[in-house]
Amino acid sequence: MNLWRDRSEVSAPVVAGYVRRSSHMQVDNFSLDAQKRAITEECVRRQLPAPIFYEDDERSARSEQIAKRPAFKRLLEDVQAGRVQVIMVHTLDRWSRNVMVTLQSFRILAEQRTAFVSLSEHIDYSTPEGKLQLTILAAFAAYFSDMLAKHTSKGKGERAAQGLYNGDIPFGYRRTGAKLPPEHNPDTFPGLRMIGEMRMLGTSAEKIADALNAAGYRTGSKRFGDRLFTIDTVNAITRNEFYAAFAPGDDRGTIVYKGQRYRGQHPAAFTYEEWQKIRAGSRMNYNAPHRTEQAHYIYEVSGYIADIHCGLTLRCQGAGKNRYYKDVAKKRQLPCPAGGFLQVRIDDVRLQFGELLQGFQLPDHWREAVRRKMIEAMQQAGLDVQSVEREKERLKLKRSRILKQHRDGYIDDMELQSEMAAVELALRNLEVPEMNGLRLDDIVEAGERLPGIAALWDVATPEERREMVLLMLEPGGLYYDLELKEIAALKPRPAFLPLMRLIEGFIEYKEATGTLVTSRWQRRNRRVPSTLSATWILFSHPQSVLRVKLQQVLEMLEKMPVALPKRRPGPAKPRVSIPREEWPAVLRRIEQGETLRDVAKVYNTSYETVRRVLKTLQSPQGLQSPQGGAAP
């Protein structure tokens, strides 16, 4: 049974191929290319369209958090939006190794009537037998993942017991082999010694980072590459016992695994006594408050408030009544027009956001306005409204045929209910406008919640205010001006964006669709006089999507061959003049039919010089020029 057969009456099904690899070190029977090739061949065999691949590289399927696999999360969102009708994977463990994730994802597929095909297990999710087989295989996949994690942990413990390091090679060392200890890297080991010697003198981490950056040292990681040293990286190095001698008088380093210390095979960077001094210097520079009991405090906009000028998320700091959102651009050695060190009290942000919510006033007929704008957006995107009407008529005729078949006895009551429910659901989906996976019902629901959020903000608990922020804004979507101490812009979630576009007091630029700048901040902004200063962060922030796309375009332009205008080849060292005694010969050559360029080659000069000679000879004073003169 093919689940996509009913959908093919309207259009060809969209096939999604999901491929995944846990890590670049994984020894797997099926590489990403092999998975893609098998899925493509299966689509050809079943006469299906070419698949659209969703690829998660170096992503584990053991976790219960779907957000840790971005392509997997995007695929489920496309399924819920109705953009995917068929999903193919090579094996079930490529899809998920967690029972809860498997069952949750297949519940979504069942709700959307999306077919699922696993090439190795021959799973057909449309039948009860397939559902039972799927649950059993998912349980085995979770069992395999747990056993694999257990064996991996056992292998890491054995490796640590043998004195070998687990993970990336620390700064100052270099790899010598898979089962060999690392050795000192002559290029970076002097920088490592600099860190230890400065920390033994009590130097702060900030000054150590500045000295390392000035000396040209950079941190190296497989994920981020070479980056500047910061306070955090210096503190991490001075806490890593890998560099310390295992015992007094020992020249070998230390391996720590799950709290157990082992004698390493690698050479130590610091003696046992030097490491004790380094730790003492670190404790001397540690200024955090010491609490007997760690308190848990809820920051309402943590992870959602960012600096408008540099785009970096502000960090939560402080204790008691003195709590702040602080810009850490300077600490992270990143440029920021506002300095990168300013901060704002959390109480001020809470009050200002509450006042902003109180000013949200939707128009009287906002539901009809949103519906009209969605229809306009659909027409601009090329969606044919007439085809939607034709589809409605087709479904109504189908409903009439189903009723007639039931009256004639061709289908029973249960089949009638299921078929009628499917038709009614399809009709309802066509009645409600949908654009980019966003339905009108979702926007209406968000609009009905908006007044309640504004009314309850001041009396809600920190946990409840936190939930309101998560519901309304995208991560990093509250842009704050730390110089003016006011909210500069908002980036609402898709359901709230059409509503907030209807509210007065916001400005949206084409260069940054989806980011709404407050008109009050727009008038007061003095950092950049340009009217696009609020959207410039989307290009200046190192991790912004627009900046990445801009860099890709620039790199592509650099690789493209540049068509330079070709000049005619001339003499390597042209003479700037022709002696006067050669002028009659030049005139005879021209009269005999030679071109200016041919004559110029004979005298190793440019044709312009020959032209000036002829012009001079044709003038009345040309023959009376002084002897020994040259061409002008």
Give the residue-averaged pLDDT of 413-430.
Answer: 78
Q: Is 173 exposed, middle or buried (0-12, 13-18, 19+ CB in 10 A)?
A: buried
Q: Is residue 275 pLDDT above 90, yes or no?
A: yes
pLDDT digits (tens, 9 = 90+) for 408-419: 888 888 888 878
User: What is the rounded distance in angstroms from the CA atom of residue 27 to the CA atom of residue 29?
Assistant: 7
Which residue shows structure tokens 């010969």?
585
Pick from 62, 50, 59: nearest CA to 19? 59
User: What is the rounded distance in angstroms from the CA atom of residue 145 to the CA atom of residue 358?
Assistant: 50
The DSSP output letter for 314 is P
Q: Is residue 152 pLDDT above 90, yes or no?
A: no
Fold of 173-284: Hect, E3 ligase catalytic domain fold (3.90.1750)
Count of C-beta atoms within a 10 Å radius of residue 511: 13
Q: Please, what's the b/e burial string for 603-629 (b: 16 or more CB within 10 A of its CB; e: otherwise)?
A: bebbbebbeebbebbeeeeeeebeeee
Determine the pLDDT at residue 512.
Answer: 74
Under the banding of pLDDT at 50, 70 and 90, the label for residue 600 is confident
User: What is the rounded distance in angstroms from the CA atom of residue 198 to the CA atom of residue 184?
Assistant: 19
Under the banding of pLDDT at 50, 70 and 90, the label for residue 116 is confident
Q: Is residue 16 pLDDT above 70, yes or no?
A: yes
SS3 category, 57? strand
| Per-residue tokens: 39 | 């899925």
Q: Please report the DSSP string for 257-289 in residue order.
A: ETTEEEEEEEEPSB-HHHHHHHHHHHHHT--PP
Report domain extents, the chain. Answer: 3-153, 173-284, 300-559, 580-624
Q: Which amino acid is at 123?
A: I
Give the residue-averaged pLDDT of 569-578.
Answer: 55
Which of 92-101, 275-284, 556-565 is most confident? 275-284
CA atoms within a 13 Å half-sphere pointing along the CA-CB vector of 423: 18
Least confident window among 157-166, 170-179, 408-417:
408-417
Strands (E), 244-342: 252-257, 260-267, 305-307, 315-319, 322-326
Which residue shows structure tokens 């009345």?
620
| Per-residue tokens: 84 | 């995917």
pLDDT digits (tens, 9 = 90+) for 334-379: 778 888 889 999 999 999 999 999 888 888 888 888 888 877 776 6
Compute φ and ψ for 469, nearest 5 degrees: -65, -45
Which of 76-85, 531-540, 602-611 is most confident? 76-85
CA terminus-to-terminus distance, the chain: 92
Q: Is residue 220 pLDDT above 60, yes or no?
A: yes
The CATH-assigned architecture of domain 3-153 is 3-Layer(aba) Sandwich (3.40)
Q: Full-prediction pTM beyond 0.75?
A: no
Determine the pLDDT at residue 377.
Answer: 72
User: What is the rounded distance in angstroms from the CA atom of residue 168 to the CA atom of residue 316?
Assistant: 29
Compute φ and ψ for 355, nearest 5 degrees: -65, -35
Q: Is 521 exposed, middle or buried (0-12, 13-18, 19+ CB in 10 A)?
A: buried
Least confident window among 32-36, 170-174, 489-493:
32-36
**Cα 5 versus chain centre, distance:** 36
Give the residue-averaged pLDDT of 274-297.
Answer: 70
| Per-residue tokens: 121 | 């297990």
Q: Is residue 8 pLDDT above 50, yes or no?
A: no
- The set of residues, in sequence order, having a beta carbon less than 8 Å from that of 292 and lying 6+ positions away, is none
Least confident window among 44-48, 174-178, 291-295, 408-412:
291-295
| Per-residue tokens: 573 | 């060292």
Give the residue-averaged pLDDT of 176-199.
Answer: 89
SS3 category, 594? coil
Count of C-beta atoms within a 10 Å radius of residue 226: 9
Determine the pLDDT at residue 60.
Answer: 64
Q: Is residue 567 pLDDT above 70, yes or no?
A: no
User: What would you report as the CA-atom Rg of the chain, rounded to the nearest whole angstrom?
Assistant: 36
Phi-psi region of 357 (alpha: psi -120 to 50; beta: other; left: phi over 0): alpha
Under the banding of pLDDT at 50, 70 and 90, the label for residue 195 is very high
Q: Is residue 25 pLDDT above 50, yes or no?
A: no
The DSSP output letter for 579 is B
Give the residue-averaged pLDDT of 194-216.
Answer: 89
- The set of residues, in sequence order, having a beta carbon less than 8 Å from that of 574 and lying 6+ positions away, is 604, 605, 606
CB 422, CB 430: distance < 8 Å: no
Compute φ and ψ for 492, nearest 5 degrees: -70, 165
| Residue % of the chain over a pLDDT of 70 | 75
Q: Is residue 7 pLDDT above 50, yes or no?
A: no
CB 490, CB 473: distance < 8 Å: yes
Q: Is residue 557 pLDDT above 60, yes or no?
A: yes
User: What is the rounded distance in angstroms from the CA atom of residue 63 to the CA atom of residue 51?
Assistant: 26
Q: Is residue 621 pLDDT above 60, yes or no?
A: no
Indicate the Cα dihedral angle 101, 107, 111, 116, nearest 10°. Answer: 80
Least confident window among 24-28, 64-68, 383-387, 500-504:
24-28
Determine the pLDDT at residue 479.
Answer: 92
Q: Average model confidence (pLDDT) for the chain?
A: 78
Determine the pLDDT at residue 547.
Answer: 64
- The set of residues, in sequence order, having a beta carbon less than 8 Å from that of 449 and lying 6+ positions away, is 471
CB 580, CB 546: distance < 8 Å: no
Under the banding of pLDDT at 50, 70 and 90, the label for residue 534 is very low
Question: CA 200, 206, 212, 217 torsion: positive or negative?
Answer: positive
Which residue shows structure tokens 């957000």?
67
Q: Is residue 17 pLDDT above 90, yes or no?
A: yes
Pick from 447, 397, 399: nearest CA to 420? 399
